[in-house]
Amino acid sequence: MKVTNGETASEGSREEISNYFSDIIKTNQCPITDVLSRISDKWTMHTIIMLGKAETLRFTELKKRIPGISQRMLTVTLRTLEEDGLLTRTIYPQIPPRVEYELTPLGRSLVGQLISLSGWANDNMVHILRAREEYILKKN
């Protein structure tokens, strides 16, 4: 739906939201809350993006590509992503053992959504920064 004025955006958005997000938000079974709570931290997003840029990566390669992440946090993040079916962990029986991580088709589909979100953020960052400045000026 292309929005041309504030009135259309407001009405269309309300109707679309009402149809799409029924009463499930009122329960504790909201898929949006569940999924976003799992993927919205910066380490998970960075991990998904780095794996999206490569076919497969080893643990040390991932750690080098994600500045500031600790070994423990990367381990926890990878386990969570594997548990959610967003990546696979392949262990090769050699000495020393080699472990590689790769996004599943589900994980790759999430990368597409992150690209859309990134585009939205890039398109709207100027407006957001302006709103923040205006908010600070109003408070003072």
pLDDT tens for 10-65 read 455 777 777 666 665 566 667 777 788 888 888 999 999 999 999 899 999 999 99
User: Residue 83: is it exposed, middle or buried by C-beta count within 10 angstroms (0-12/13-18/19+)?
Assistant: exposed
Q: Which domains does the chain have, with CATH numbers?
A: 1-28 (no CATH), 41-139 (1.10.10.10)
| Mean pLDDT, the chain, whole residue set | 85
Q: CA–CA separation, 34 vs 47, rounded Å?
A: 19
- For the whole model, what pTM was predicted? 0.74
Count of other CB atoms within 10 angstroms of residue 107: 21
Apex 133 CA angle, 127 and 137, nearest 5: 140
pLDDT higher than threshold 80 for residue 97: yes
